[in-house]
A = this chain, B = another copy of it.
Amino acid sequence: MANLKYSRQRASIKEYLMTTQGHPTADTVYLHVRKEFPHISLGTVYRNLNLLAEMGEAVKISTPDGGDRFDGNTHPHYHVVCTTCGDVMDLMMNPEYIRTINKKASEHFDGTIDSHRLLFYGTCPKCGRR
């Protein structure tokens, strides 16, 4: 589609997503990248996060609880939201099983199922042991 031009801001945002363990919100990314680019704007962060997501170089995780989160891990996987601390964690699952869910859904739907979004809720190991 559009002609993409290099930008240090975008590179820094991607670098951060690829190295962080967490699943930052746009604002968290903003606060981090601001250390390197004190004048970067939130708008630029959003523009680049969406760009990266469109290019498949990052994943946007939509959560009903607060702002969207972003993940540098582009392998197909799910996420768990800890209902105690609010943290978002990866949940690797067999890609085979991921496909199974769509297939199973197709059996109950008089149309085509292409994809799905699945978000788990639970308690993380940290919050579980008290």
Copies in the complex: 2
A120 touches B115 (CB 8 A): yes
Q: What residue of chain B has the Cβ atom nearest to residue A63's Cβ?
A: B62
In contact, B118 and A80 (Cβ under 8 angstroms) = no
Which residues of the other chain, B, contact A120 by a CB distance below 8 angstroms?
102, 105, 109, 113, 115-116
Contacts of A104 in B (CB 8 A): 93, 97
How many angstroms between the C-alpha atoms of A122 and B17 in the bound complex? 29
Contact with B along A86-130 (1 / 0, CB 8 A): 000101110001000110110011111111111111111101100
- Let me know if A83 is at the binding interface, CB within 8 A: yes
Q: Which residues of A contact B (CB under 8 A)?
A: 60, 62, 64, 68, 78, 80, 82-83, 89, 91-93, 97, 101-102, 104-105, 108-125, 127-128
Q: How far is the CA of A112 from the CA of B110 in the complex (A)?
A: 34
B117 and A112 form a contact (CB under 8 A): no
Residues of B within 8 A of A124 (CB): 111
Report how far A91 CA is from B101 CA in the complex, Å.
12
* A101 → chain B closest CB, angstroms: 7
CB pair B116 A111 closer than 8 Å: no
The answer to whether B121 and A105 have CB atoms under 8 Å apart is no
- Contact status of A109 and B89, CB under 8 A, knowing A114-B121, A117-B64: yes
